[in-house]
């Protein structure tokens, strides 16, 4: 299982990369592996306001549809439209392919997320 | 919660790196190399399935023929020795106890192969209808293992492991032969829409059969196939799954499986089914094809243009190498005509779909 340093991680297996007030949000390698072949991603709409732990999008494998929760509150600035035609990018390069970019409304929420070491431990214990 | 059961091949699945899930009380592999890859492998080459969780019930005795005829919707008089027929066990009201394969050895000996999830229920059902019939009903599920070898290259490969000429096992027939020196029941049957075989052995022999098929087949491109692709394959071939297309509240006629119901014979549920046929169906199983991206899945409501519920998706997928999702749905007959437009409720959005045939592929059976 691949985990990248310098990202924030949620217990729901999402990652956050911070760039100023912007947060890039995606799913982790552990998540893509657990889901299997990803064949469709339902992206949020730009300008949608989401609160931490609300549904941001839906990631669908052959077998099932799984909600993707946002680990952080904010407004959707951008979505990764490459996923419309190539959802398998989330399997191939989960950390290179964000799902959405949020403008964070409360940066202090980042403190509640895990760093890479904590996330590795979390995965080992669950 | 009772303990999960394992087939004799559990350790082999773990060694092959399978993802394991709880399926109907069994710890079974859901995927090995990935559902898409496994699906395509069966369509283009061949795949091996562990189906040892299936139930095997033997009916023997002087009146076995009459007893089986009373239980199942097939015409057992028309069944030859060593022939297999797909059929239903029905309740008196016409709903389905289970779907099954009936293997006829002789008029005095039958093997019923039933779903793992229903095996105990079926056995009880069969016993409860034994009455005065002079038969012995034996639940042999724990004594038998079963693997399925399916795909266009299944026969040529299996032929290398047996002296018996496999051309002599016709579609939906079986023979008792040896495979790699092991006594097996081999039928030309399956659940994929491809040519192929189902191979039954004693539980203690199934691991050796599995291993030799995996080892020798591996160099030919054979792969192990798990339950995930088993479901996409059977769905693409329009084969029903108990709990989805059929259940205790859905009759075979509503499911579009009237071909397997012989109303000129006598069996439990026949009167209700004959009545339903005479009165006309109020709901019907249809194929649906979505017009936009998105995936329709088992349990999603189907609505009319006003958003009123007219039915439900019984199975839906985005099949490998497809652009749009397809489904089988049980809907109000008013909307069941080909090319009718309906709407599938996906997470509170209504997404347009068109009624199509359920045959999403042409079956490749060798008849």
Residue A88 in contact with partner chain B when CB distance is under 8 A: no
A40–chain B nearest CA distance, Å = 7
pLDDT of res. A123: 95
DSSP secondary structure letter of residue B168 = G
From CA B217, how far away is CA B221, in angstroms rounded?
Answer: 6
Residue A124 lies in a domain: no
- Which string of b and e fits B344-359 if b means at least 16 CB within 10 Å? bbbeeebbebebbebe
Q: Is the pLDDT of residue B314 over 90?
A: yes
Residue A62 in contact with partner chain B when CB distance is under 8 A: yes
**Could A64 and B35 be called an inter-chain contact, meaning their C-beta atoms sit closer than 8 Å?**
no
B19–chain A nearest CA distance, Å = 9
pLDDT-based confidence at residue B205 (cuts at 50, 70, 90): very high
pLDDT of res. B253: 98
Cβ pairs A/B, distance under 8 A? 37
Residue A26 lies in a domain: yes
Q: Is the pLDDT of residue B90 over 70?
A: yes
Residue A70 lies in a domain: yes
Instruction: Answer whether B149's CB lies under 8 Å from B46's CB.
Output: yes
Q: What is the mean pLDDT of residues B120-140?
A: 97
Please write the tens of the pLDDT for every residue from B40-59.
Answer: 999 999 999 999 999 999 99
Of B20-24, B56-60, B342-346, B363-367, the range with the lowest mean pLDDT is: B363-367
Residue A117 lies in a domain: no
pLDDT of res. B2: 67
Residue A67 lies in a domain: yes
Which residue on chain A is closest to B294 by alpha carbon?
A: A40
pLDDT of res. B327: 98
pLDDT of res. B237: 97
pLDDT of res. B3: 85
DSSP sequence for B73-99: SS-GGGPPTTEEEEEEEE-TTS-EEEE
Q: What is the mean pLDDT of residues B163-180?
A: 98
Instruction: Answer whether B180's CB lies under 8 Å from B159's CB.
Output: no
DSSP sequence for A10-31: -TTSEEEEEETTEEEEEE-HHH
Residue A43 lies in a domain: yes
Q: What is the mean pLDDT of residues B240-265?
A: 98
Helix axis angle for B227-236 and B35-44, nearest 10°, is 50
Percent above pLDDT 90 for chain B: 96
Residue A39 in contact with partner chain B when CB distance is under 8 A: yes
Give how far the C-alpha of residue B189 lies from the chain's centroid of Cα atoms, to the nearest Å: 10
**Could B294 and A39 be called an inter-chain contact, meaning their C-beta atoms sit closer than 8 Å?**
no
Please write the tens of the pLDDT for every residue from B29-39.
Answer: 999 999 999 99
Give the CATH number, domain containing residue A34: 2.40.50.100
Q: Is the pLDDT of residue A117 over 60?
A: yes
Q: B282-356 is classed in which CATH architecture? A: Beta Barrel (2.40)
From CA B99, how far away is CA B79, in angstroms rounded?
Answer: 17
From CA B47, how far away is CA B234, in angstroms rounded?
Answer: 13
Which CATH code of 2.30.40.10, 3.30.1360.120, 2.60.320.10, 3.30.70.20 fits the domain covering B10-52+142-236?
3.30.1360.120
Domain count of chain A? 1
Select from A40, A62, A64 the Cβ nearest to the Cβ of B232. A62
Q: Is the pLDDT of residue B331 over 70?
A: yes
Residue A32 lies in a domain: yes
pLDDT-based confidence at residue B367 (cuts at 50, 70, 90): confident
Which residues in B have their CB inside 8 Å of a CB on A? 19, 30-31, 34-37, 228, 232, 293-295, 297, 317-318, 320, 347
Instruction: Answer whether A76's CB lies under 8 Å from A48's CB.
Output: yes
Average pLDDT, chain B: 97
Q: Is the pLDDT of residue B1 over 70?
A: no
Q: Which three-class secondary structure state does DSSP give residue A72?
A: coil
Residue B266 CB coordination number (10 Å): 11
From CA B86, how far away is CA B115, in angstroms rounded?
Answer: 12
Select from B34, B294, B347 the Cβ nearest to the Cβ of A40. B294
Total length of chain A: 126
Domain housing A14: 8-106
pTM: 0.95
Q: What is the mean pLDDT of residues B118-142?
A: 97
DSSP secondary structure letter of residue B4 = P
Could you tell me the residue ranges of all domains in chain B?
10-52+142-236, 282-356
Nearest to B180 by CA among B203, B196, B157, B198: B157
Tell me how many degrees the CA angle A19-A22-A27 measures, rounded to the nearest 5: 90
pLDDT-based confidence at residue B236 (cuts at 50, 70, 90): very high
Nearest to B131 by CA among B71, B73, B56: B71
pLDDT-based confidence at residue A126 (cuts at 50, 70, 90): confident
Q: Is the pLDDT of residue B348 over 90?
A: no
From CA A42, how far away is CA A89, in angstroms rounded?
Answer: 14
pLDDT-based confidence at residue B193 (cuts at 50, 70, 90): very high
């Amino acid at each position: 299982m691949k985990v990248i340093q310098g990202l924030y991680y949620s217990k729901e297996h999402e990652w956050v990369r911070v760039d100023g007030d912007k947060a890039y949000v995606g799913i982790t390698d552990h998540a893509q592996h657990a889901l299997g072949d990803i064949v469709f991603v339902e992206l949020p709409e730009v300008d949608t306001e989401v609160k931490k732990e609300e549904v941001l999008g839906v990631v669908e494998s052959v077998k099932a549809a799984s909600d993707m929760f946002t680990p952080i509150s904010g407004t959707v600035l951008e979505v990764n439209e490459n996923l419309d035609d190539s959802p398998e990018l989330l399997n191939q390069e989960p950390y290179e392919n964000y799902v959405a970019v949020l403008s964070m409304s409360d940066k202090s929420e980042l403190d509640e997320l895990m760093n890479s070491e904590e996330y590795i431990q979390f995965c080992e214990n669950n | 919660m009772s303990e999960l059961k394992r087939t004799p091949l559990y350790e082999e699945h773990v060694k092959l790196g399978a993802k394991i899930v709880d399926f109907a009380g069994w710890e079974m592999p859901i995927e090995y190399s990935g559902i898409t890859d496994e699906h395509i492998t069966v369509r283009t080459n061949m795949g091996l399935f562990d189906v040892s969780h299936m139930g095997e019930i033997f009916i023997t005795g002087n009146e076995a023929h009459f007893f089986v005829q009373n239980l199942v919707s097939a015409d057992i008089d028309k069944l030859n020795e060593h022939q297999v027929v797909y059929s239903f066990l029905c309740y008196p009201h016409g709903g389905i106890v289970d779907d099954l394969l009936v293997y006829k050895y002789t008029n005095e000996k039958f093997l019923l192969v039933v779903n793992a999830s229903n095996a105990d229920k079926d056995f009880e059902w069969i016993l409860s209808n034994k009455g005065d019939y002079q038969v012995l009903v034996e639940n042999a599920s724990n004594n038998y293992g079963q693997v399925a070898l399916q795909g266009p290259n299944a026969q040529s490969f299996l032929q290398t492991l047996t002296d018996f000429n496999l051309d002599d096992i016709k579609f939906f027939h079986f023979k008792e032969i040896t495979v790699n020196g092991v006594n097996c029941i081999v039928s030309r049957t399956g659940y994929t829409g491809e040519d192929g075989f189902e191979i039954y052995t004693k539980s203690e022999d199934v691991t050796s059969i599995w291993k030799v098929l995996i080892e020798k087949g591996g160099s030919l491109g054979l792969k192990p196939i798990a339950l995930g692709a088993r479901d996409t394959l059977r769905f693409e071939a329009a084969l029903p799954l108990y709990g989805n297309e059929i259940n205790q509240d859905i009759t075979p006629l509503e499911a579009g499986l009237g071909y397997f119901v012989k109303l000129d014979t006598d069996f439990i549920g026949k009167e209700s089914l004959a009545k339903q046929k005479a009165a006309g169906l109020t709901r019907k199983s249809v194929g649906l094809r979505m017009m936009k991206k998105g995936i329709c899945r088992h349990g999603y409501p189907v609505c009319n243009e006003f958003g009123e519920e007219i039915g439900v998706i019984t199975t839906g997928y985005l099949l490998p190498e497809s652009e749009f999702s397809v489904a089988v749905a049980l809907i109000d007959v008013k909307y069941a005509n080909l090319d009718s437009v309906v709407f599938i409720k996906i997470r509170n959005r209504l997404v347009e779909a068109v009624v199509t045939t359920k045959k999403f592929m042409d079956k490749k059976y060798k008849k």
